[in-house]
Amino acid sequence: MALTARGLTRTFGRHTAVAHADVTLTPGTITGLVGPNGAGKTTLLLMLAGLLAPDSGSLRLDDQEVDSTQLRAVIGWMPDVFGTWDSLTATEILTTFGRLHGQAASAARLRAAELLDLVHLSAFADRPAHELSRGQKQRLGFARTLVNRPRVLLLDEPASGMDPRSRMELRDQLRAMADAGCAVLISSHILTELSEMVDDVVIMTAGRTRDSDRPTGHRWRVREAGQPATSARMMSFADEEAAARHLGELVAAGANVAEFCRVDTELEDAYLALDAERT
């Protein structure tokens, strides 16, 4: 199921949060949403999720224009902070959301158990939410996102507060869902982590989505055996072939190279090319 947004705008009083946004999410693809704070990313996500009406623009599922109710039925939305009813247990929270999506009580309980197992929270199924750690609440939030078996996933800083193992599992789960035909959009400021997951990138600045001007060349870290880490040299090469040639020259000259690696990513490069101000 493909989700396409064209010309989305949204204002709050005199403030324009989203001025013009175009997004295409295709099945089997994980897309990153990148931009500085205040760029309009969360507002855009809320419109895509059917939780905030755009002032103008169109939203289409498989080339059919849809309203907010239709969007919410097929989309899984994970905000950056998952608000919970602290007095309810993990099972009760997921069951409640299942019922809100129209599931029968027995089906909602079964789905809750499946999802708690998926995010490794079965041992906390009967614990009230206020007893969960930040990372556990985040995993519960991801489970809640999947209650309605969505065909499109929208995630805002999904790994925030998770430990390294949970982050890796989340990455693997999202890839598996994409491979099964889900369309995924992830907003995150952790560019190195995001670059490991995404197939495509949407850049957003000042309320507008835009193509990025990807700079040429990358930085590489070079260190010979016996040198302290602080003595490593930072070098720039136009491409991987140029870097490989230089490494070959070093080895041919007798250098005992212990470390030769890229220290930036294309996603970081694309972001830095925006020359966005710190916010």
pLDDT tens digits for 9-63?
999 999 999 999 999 999 999 999 998 888 999 999 999 999 999 999 999 999 8
Is 60 exceeded by the pLDDT of residue 277?
Answer: no
Is beta strand 3-12 parallel, antiparallel or unpaired with respect to 56-61?
A: antiparallel
Q: State the Cα–Cα distance between residues 174 and 157, nearest whole angstrom.
A: 13
- CB contact set of 117 (below 8 Å; sequence gap of 6+): none
Tell me the β-bridge partners of 259: 223
Tens of pLDDT along 148-190? 999 999 999 998 888 889 999 999 999 999 999 999 999 988 8
Q: State the Cα–Cα distance between residues 42 and 70, nearest whole angstrom.
A: 20
C-beta of residue 191 within 8 angstroms of C-beta of residue 231: no
Residue 134 burial (CB < 10 Å; 0-12/13-18/19+)? exposed
Q: Domain ranges in the chain?
A: 3-210, 218-272
CATH 3.40.50.300 fits 3-210, yes or no: yes
**pLDDT value at residue 189:** 84
SS3 content of the chain, % helix, strand, coil (to 5): 35, 30, 35
**pLDDT value at residue 3:** 95
Q: State the Cα–Cα distance between residues 224 and 97, nearest whole angstrom.
A: 56
Closest CA to 52 of 65, 61, 41: 41
Tens of pLDDT along 224-267? 999 998 889 989 888 889 999 999 999 999 999 999 988 866 67
Phi, psi of 163, rounded to the nearest 5 degrees: -80, 165
Question: Over the chain, what is the mean pLDDT?
Answer: 90
C-beta of residue 1 within 8 angstroms of C-beta of residue 73: no
